[in-house]
Amino acid sequence: MTVTPGRTRAGQVRHFLDLDRFDTETLRRILDLGAAYKRGDKPFGKDKPLSGRLLAMIFEKPSTRTRVSFEAGMKQLGGDVIVLTRSDTQLGRGETIADTARVLSRYVDAVMIRTDDPAKLCGLAEFASVPVVNGLTDDTHPCQVMADIMTYEEHRGSLEGKVVAWSGDGNNVCASWIQAAAHFGFEMRVACPPGLEPDAGVVAWATGNGAAVAIGHDPRAAAAGADLVITDTWVSMGCEETDRAGRLMPFQVNGGLMALAKADALFMHCLPAHRGEEVTDEVMDGPHSVVWDEAENRLHVQKGILTWCLL
Protein backbone atom coordinates (compact mmCIF):
# COMPACT_ATOMS: atom_id res chain seq x y z
CA MET A 1 0.00 0.00 0.00
CA THR A 2 1.35 3.43 -0.96
CA VAL A 3 1.21 6.04 1.78
CA THR A 4 0.86 9.66 0.64
CA PRO A 5 3.53 11.91 2.22
CA GLY A 6 2.12 13.80 5.20
CA ARG A 7 -0.73 11.34 5.71
CA THR A 8 -1.35 8.16 7.67
CA ARG A 9 -2.16 4.83 6.04
CA ALA A 10 -5.83 5.67 6.56
CA GLY A 11 -5.35 8.84 4.52
CA GLN A 12 -5.57 11.19 7.51
CA VAL A 13 -3.32 14.24 7.78
CA ARG A 14 -0.45 13.64 10.20
CA HIS A 15 -0.98 16.24 12.91
CA PHE A 16 1.23 16.45 16.01
CA LEU A 17 -1.22 17.63 18.68
CA ASP A 18 -1.01 15.84 22.04
CA LEU A 19 0.72 12.72 23.28
CA ASP A 20 -2.56 11.05 24.23
CA ARG A 21 -3.47 10.88 20.53
CA PHE A 22 -0.50 8.69 19.62
CA ASP A 23 0.53 5.09 19.98
CA THR A 24 3.89 4.47 21.61
CA GLU A 25 5.39 3.09 18.40
CA THR A 26 4.81 6.39 16.59
CA LEU A 27 6.31 8.44 19.41
CA ARG A 28 9.33 6.15 19.40
CA ARG A 29 9.67 6.63 15.64
CA ILE A 30 9.72 10.42 16.10
CA LEU A 31 12.30 10.20 18.89
CA ASP A 32 14.47 7.93 16.75
CA LEU A 33 14.28 10.42 13.89
CA GLY A 34 15.35 13.24 16.21
CA ALA A 35 18.29 11.20 17.53
CA ALA A 36 19.32 10.36 13.96
CA TYR A 37 19.35 14.02 12.96
CA LYS A 38 21.43 14.86 16.02
CA ARG A 39 23.98 12.21 15.01
CA GLY A 40 24.14 13.71 11.51
CA ASP A 41 22.42 10.75 9.84
CA LYS A 42 20.08 11.04 6.84
CA PRO A 43 16.95 9.06 7.78
CA PHE A 44 15.32 9.77 4.43
CA GLY A 45 18.52 9.50 2.42
CA LYS A 46 18.74 13.21 1.68
CA ASP A 47 20.59 16.19 3.14
CA LYS A 48 17.53 18.39 2.67
CA PRO A 49 14.44 16.15 2.82
CA LEU A 50 12.05 19.10 3.22
CA SER A 51 13.42 21.10 0.30
CA GLY A 52 10.65 23.22 -1.19
CA ARG A 53 8.39 22.80 1.87
CA LEU A 54 7.02 25.80 3.76
CA LEU A 55 6.05 25.97 7.44
CA ALA A 56 3.79 28.73 8.81
CA MET A 57 4.43 29.47 12.48
CA ILE A 58 1.68 31.27 14.40
CA PHE A 59 2.84 32.85 17.66
CA GLU A 60 0.06 34.13 19.88
CA LYS A 61 2.50 33.72 22.78
CA PRO A 62 6.12 34.89 22.50
CA SER A 63 8.94 32.38 22.49
CA THR A 64 12.70 32.00 22.27
CA ARG A 65 13.25 28.24 22.10
CA THR A 66 10.12 27.31 20.13
CA ARG A 67 10.69 30.07 17.56
CA VAL A 68 14.39 29.46 17.00
CA SER A 69 14.31 25.66 17.16
CA PHE A 70 11.45 25.28 14.66
CA GLU A 71 12.83 27.89 12.31
CA ALA A 72 16.38 26.53 12.45
CA GLY A 73 15.14 22.96 12.16
CA MET A 74 12.97 23.64 9.13
CA LYS A 75 15.79 25.49 7.36
CA GLN A 76 18.35 22.82 8.20
CA LEU A 77 15.99 20.30 6.59
CA GLY A 78 15.88 22.41 3.44
CA GLY A 79 12.52 24.08 3.97
CA ASP A 80 11.52 27.62 4.83
CA VAL A 81 9.23 29.39 7.30
CA ILE A 82 6.75 32.21 7.57
CA VAL A 83 6.36 33.69 11.06
CA LEU A 84 3.00 35.18 12.04
CA THR A 85 2.45 37.00 15.33
CA ARG A 86 -0.93 37.87 16.82
CA SER A 87 -0.90 41.23 15.02
CA ASP A 88 -0.07 39.59 11.66
CA THR A 89 -3.25 37.55 11.30
CA GLN A 90 -6.97 38.22 11.17
CA LEU A 91 -7.72 35.83 14.04
CA GLY A 92 -7.89 38.73 16.47
CA ARG A 93 -10.16 40.68 14.14
CA GLY A 94 -12.98 38.20 13.82
CA GLU A 95 -11.85 35.64 11.25
CA THR A 96 -12.66 32.13 12.39
CA ILE A 97 -9.97 29.55 13.04
CA ALA A 98 -11.69 27.34 10.45
CA ASP A 99 -11.35 29.96 7.71
CA THR A 100 -7.75 30.65 8.71
CA ALA A 101 -6.99 26.92 8.51
CA ARG A 102 -8.53 26.59 5.06
CA VAL A 103 -6.61 29.56 3.69
CA LEU A 104 -3.23 28.63 5.17
CA SER A 105 -3.63 25.12 3.77
CA ARG A 106 -3.60 26.65 0.26
CA TYR A 107 -0.31 28.45 0.92
CA VAL A 108 1.92 26.27 3.12
CA ASP A 109 2.78 22.63 3.76
CA ALA A 110 2.39 22.67 7.56
CA VAL A 111 1.33 24.98 10.39
CA MET A 112 2.81 25.25 13.89
CA ILE A 113 0.81 27.21 16.45
CA ARG A 114 1.79 28.46 19.91
CA THR A 115 -1.36 29.73 21.58
CA ASP A 116 -3.26 30.03 24.83
CA ASP A 117 -6.47 28.29 23.79
CA PRO A 118 -6.28 24.58 22.92
CA ALA A 119 -9.54 25.01 20.99
CA LYS A 120 -7.60 27.04 18.41
CA LEU A 121 -5.15 24.18 17.96
CA CYS A 122 -7.96 21.66 17.56
CA GLY A 123 -9.84 23.96 15.19
CA LEU A 124 -6.78 24.36 13.00
CA ALA A 125 -6.31 20.60 12.87
CA GLU A 126 -9.97 19.97 12.12
CA PHE A 127 -10.14 22.28 9.14
CA ALA A 128 -6.58 22.28 7.78
CA SER A 129 -5.65 19.94 4.96
CA VAL A 130 -1.96 20.14 5.98
CA PRO A 131 -0.25 18.95 9.19
CA VAL A 132 -0.71 21.07 12.32
CA VAL A 133 1.87 21.00 15.14
CA ASN A 134 1.21 21.95 18.76
CA GLY A 135 3.97 24.39 19.71
CA LEU A 136 2.29 24.97 23.10
CA THR A 137 -1.15 25.62 24.53
CA ASP A 138 -2.20 26.46 28.06
CA ASP A 139 -3.11 22.77 28.45
CA THR A 140 -0.08 20.92 27.03
CA HIS A 141 3.45 21.21 25.64
CA PRO A 142 4.24 17.91 23.87
CA CYS A 143 7.24 19.12 21.84
CA GLN A 144 9.01 20.02 25.07
CA VAL A 145 8.37 16.67 26.72
CA MET A 146 9.53 14.77 23.64
CA ALA A 147 12.81 16.70 23.85
CA ASP A 148 12.99 15.97 27.58
CA ILE A 149 12.58 12.24 27.02
CA MET A 150 15.25 12.31 24.32
CA THR A 151 17.57 14.07 26.78
CA TYR A 152 17.01 11.55 29.56
CA GLU A 153 17.63 8.65 27.20
CA GLU A 154 20.89 10.20 26.03
CA HIS A 155 22.18 10.41 29.59
CA ARG A 156 20.63 7.44 31.36
CA GLY A 157 18.94 5.14 28.83
CA SER A 158 15.32 4.03 28.94
CA LEU A 159 12.80 5.72 31.23
CA GLU A 160 10.92 2.48 31.71
CA GLY A 161 10.68 1.65 35.40
CA LYS A 162 12.21 4.98 36.47
CA VAL A 163 10.74 7.55 38.85
CA VAL A 164 10.04 11.05 37.55
CA ALA A 165 9.27 13.73 40.16
CA TRP A 166 7.56 17.02 39.34
CA SER A 167 7.65 19.81 41.93
CA GLY A 168 5.65 23.00 41.40
CA ASP A 169 2.63 24.08 39.38
CA GLY A 170 0.73 21.24 37.69
CA ASN A 171 0.84 23.11 34.38
CA ASN A 172 0.89 22.30 30.67
CA VAL A 173 4.36 20.73 30.69
CA CYS A 174 3.38 18.61 33.66
CA ALA A 175 0.28 17.46 31.78
CA SER A 176 2.33 16.28 28.82
CA TRP A 177 4.70 14.46 31.18
CA ILE A 178 1.71 12.65 32.70
CA GLN A 179 0.55 11.63 29.23
CA ALA A 180 4.07 10.42 28.44
CA ALA A 181 4.00 8.13 31.48
CA ALA A 182 1.37 6.00 29.75
CA HIS A 183 3.68 5.50 26.77
CA PHE A 184 7.13 5.10 28.31
CA GLY A 185 6.43 3.11 31.45
CA PHE A 186 7.83 5.34 34.19
CA GLU A 187 6.31 6.30 37.54
CA MET A 188 5.16 9.92 37.61
CA ARG A 189 5.02 11.67 40.99
CA VAL A 190 3.58 15.19 41.02
CA ALA A 191 3.88 17.48 44.05
CA CYS A 192 2.04 20.79 43.91
CA PRO A 193 0.09 23.11 46.20
CA PRO A 194 -3.62 22.43 46.71
CA GLY A 195 -5.51 24.07 43.88
CA LEU A 196 -2.61 23.86 41.43
CA GLU A 197 -2.90 20.16 40.65
CA PRO A 198 -2.77 18.96 37.03
CA ASP A 199 -6.02 18.51 35.15
CA ALA A 200 -7.96 15.55 36.53
CA GLY A 201 -8.95 14.42 33.04
CA VAL A 202 -5.31 14.14 32.00
CA VAL A 203 -4.53 12.07 35.08
CA ALA A 204 -7.57 9.84 34.48
CA TRP A 205 -6.56 9.21 30.87
CA ALA A 206 -3.00 8.30 31.87
CA THR A 207 -3.96 5.98 34.72
CA GLY A 208 -6.67 4.44 32.54
CA ASN A 209 -3.95 3.58 30.05
CA GLY A 210 -1.72 1.89 32.58
CA ALA A 211 0.39 4.79 33.86
CA ALA A 212 1.56 4.97 37.47
CA VAL A 213 0.72 8.56 38.44
CA ALA A 214 0.61 9.93 41.99
CA ILE A 215 -0.60 13.45 42.76
CA GLY A 216 0.34 14.88 46.16
CA HIS A 217 1.40 17.97 48.07
CA ASP A 218 4.78 16.91 49.51
CA PRO A 219 7.77 17.69 47.26
CA ARG A 220 10.13 15.74 49.50
CA ALA A 221 8.06 12.59 49.19
CA ALA A 222 7.91 13.02 45.41
CA ALA A 223 11.66 13.54 45.06
CA ALA A 224 12.71 10.69 47.39
CA GLY A 225 14.65 8.16 45.30
CA ALA A 226 13.67 9.83 42.02
CA ASP A 227 15.68 9.35 38.84
CA LEU A 228 14.59 12.70 37.39
CA VAL A 229 13.39 15.91 39.05
CA ILE A 230 11.56 18.54 37.00
CA THR A 231 10.09 21.95 37.64
CA ASP A 232 8.86 24.93 35.64
CA THR A 233 8.21 28.61 36.10
CA TRP A 234 5.60 29.45 38.73
CA VAL A 235 3.79 32.11 36.71
CA SER A 236 3.03 31.21 33.11
CA MET A 237 2.32 33.79 30.41
CA GLY A 238 -1.19 35.18 30.82
CA CYS A 239 -1.56 34.05 34.44
CA GLU A 240 -3.12 36.79 36.56
CA GLU A 241 -2.71 35.14 39.97
CA THR A 242 -0.53 37.25 42.27
CA ASP A 243 0.03 34.99 45.31
CA ARG A 244 1.70 32.06 43.56
CA ALA A 245 5.20 32.71 44.84
CA GLY A 246 4.16 32.25 48.44
CA ARG A 247 2.20 29.11 47.69
CA LEU A 248 4.95 27.57 45.57
CA MET A 249 8.09 28.47 47.54
CA PRO A 250 7.96 25.17 49.49
CA PHE A 251 8.18 23.40 46.12
CA GLN A 252 11.41 25.11 45.04
CA VAL A 253 13.98 22.70 43.62
CA ASN A 254 17.12 23.39 45.65
CA GLY A 255 20.11 21.42 46.83
CA GLY A 256 18.17 19.95 49.73
CA LEU A 257 15.42 18.59 47.50
CA MET A 258 17.86 17.18 44.94
CA ALA A 259 19.75 15.43 47.76
CA LEU A 260 16.64 13.29 48.34
CA ALA A 261 16.72 11.97 44.78
CA LYS A 262 19.10 9.28 43.59
CA ALA A 263 22.77 10.23 43.54
CA ASP A 264 22.79 10.17 39.72
CA ALA A 265 19.41 11.85 39.30
CA LEU A 266 18.97 14.42 36.55
CA PHE A 267 17.33 17.84 36.80
CA MET A 268 15.29 19.39 34.01
CA HIS A 269 13.57 22.72 33.40
CA CYS A 270 12.02 23.70 30.06
CA LEU A 271 13.24 27.31 30.44
CA PRO A 272 13.10 30.24 30.80
CA ALA A 273 13.99 29.78 34.46
CA HIS A 274 13.43 32.31 37.22
CA ARG A 275 16.50 31.59 39.30
CA GLY A 276 15.88 31.90 43.00
CA GLU A 277 12.20 31.11 42.58
CA GLU A 278 11.32 27.64 41.25
CA VAL A 279 15.00 26.60 41.12
CA THR A 280 18.25 27.76 42.69
CA ASP A 281 21.53 28.51 40.92
CA GLU A 282 23.04 25.58 42.83
CA VAL A 283 20.77 23.18 40.95
CA MET A 284 20.57 24.96 37.58
CA ASP A 285 24.36 25.08 37.29
CA GLY A 286 25.06 21.94 39.24
CA PRO A 287 26.06 18.41 38.24
CA HIS A 288 22.49 17.09 38.04
CA SER A 289 21.35 19.71 35.54
CA VAL A 290 20.89 18.85 31.86
CA VAL A 291 18.88 21.94 30.97
CA TRP A 292 21.16 23.02 28.11
CA ASP A 293 21.06 19.58 26.46
CA GLU A 294 17.30 19.67 26.98
CA ALA A 295 17.04 23.02 25.20
CA GLU A 296 19.25 21.85 22.31
CA ASN A 297 17.16 18.74 21.84
CA ARG A 298 14.11 20.86 21.05
CA LEU A 299 15.82 21.42 17.68
CA HIS A 300 16.51 17.76 16.98
CA VAL A 301 13.21 16.29 18.12
CA GLN A 302 11.27 18.94 16.22
CA LYS A 303 13.12 17.96 13.07
CA GLY A 304 11.84 14.47 13.78
CA ILE A 305 8.30 15.81 14.22
CA LEU A 306 8.43 17.85 11.04
CA THR A 307 9.70 15.01 8.86
CA TRP A 308 7.23 12.56 10.43
CA CYS A 309 4.40 14.98 9.65
CA LEU A 310 5.49 15.74 6.09
CA LEU A 311 7.22 12.65 4.71
Q: Is 53 a catalytic residue?
A: no
Pick the catalytic residue from 270, 300, 302, 309.
Answer: 270
Pick the catalytic residue from 141, 183, 269, 288.
Answer: 141
Please state, in angstroms and rounded to a whole number, the distance separating the CA atoms of residues 86 and 65.
Answer: 18
Q: Is 298 a catalytic residue?
A: yes
Q: Is 144 a catalytic residue?
A: yes
Sign of CA dihedral 228, 248, 216, 146: negative
Of 182, 161, 172, nearest in space to 114 by CA = 172
Contact (Cβ atoms closer than 8 angstroms) between residue 251 and residue 193: yes
Pick the catalytic residue from 18, 65, 144, 244.
Answer: 144
Pick the catalytic residue from 232, 244, 300, 309.
Answer: 232
For 194, 233, 258, 296, the CA distances from 221, given in Å and listed in that order, are: 15, 21, 12, 31
Q: Name the phi and psi angles at 265, rounded to 5.
A: -65, 150
Of 177, 189, 170, 181, nearest in space to 209 by CA = 181
Pick the catalytic residue from 298, 300, 302, 309.
Answer: 298
Pick the catalytic residue from 114, 189, 244, 269.
Answer: 114
Catalytic residues, which ones? 114, 141, 144, 232, 270, 298
